[in-house]
Amino acid sequence: MDNPGAPRRRPVVAEVSAGGLVVDRGAEAGPLALVIGRRSARTGALEWVIPKGHLEEAETPRQAAEREVAEETGITAVAAESLGIVDYWFAAEDRRVHKTVHHFLLDPVGGALSTADREVEQVAWVPLADLPGRLAYADESRLATRALELLTGEPAPGGPG
């Protein structure tokens, strides 16, 4: 029997995305990380995030990360290793979404910074050491901290260690 006062149950949908943290390890002042600035759909504020997006047909997460980085930043990069997987839930108008995002550490191999992607307002190289405090989401900050630790062999400032 239907209960008209009960909340409507939304179907659950699984989504898979991939992205990556491009790090220029050869910069004189220390490693630089590539990030994008986009407007939050919720608040309208500019937020700094790691480039990422949905996998396309028959694409592996690694391939998707490389493609998404190029599309969103103009920089061509090659995935060197996995940084980890982040998963979370959110509600859309007609469904609940369980999102899984594969993140990679990538090495830049060419290209030039570009904001041609319609969702990207800014693209910037920032010191990797500053990145955990600049990123909009805690999960991405933890990935940046992990990248810093992997590349330097030392615990990140303010991190566990």
Phi, psi (degrees; rounded to nearest 5) at 28: -60, -40
What is the C-alpha to C-alpha distance for residues 120 and 13, in angstroms, rounded to an integer? 26
* pTM of the predicted structure, to 2 decimals: 0.86
Extended strands (E) in the chain: 12-24, 32-39, 46-49, 52-54, 75-91, 96-111, 122-127
What is the C-alpha to C-alpha distance for residues 23 and 152, in angstroms, rounded to an integer? 12
Superfamily classification of domain 19-152: Nucleoside Triphosphate Pyrophosphohydrolase (3.90.79.10)
* 104, pLDDT greater than 80: yes
Domain boundaries, the chain: 19-152
Helix runs in the chain, H state only? 61-73, 131-134, 138-152
pLDDT tens, 43-90? 999 999 999 999 999 999 999 999 999 999 999 999 999 999 999 998
pLDDT tens, 127-138? 999 999 999 999
Residue whose pair of structure tokens reads 């700094």 in the numeric block: 48
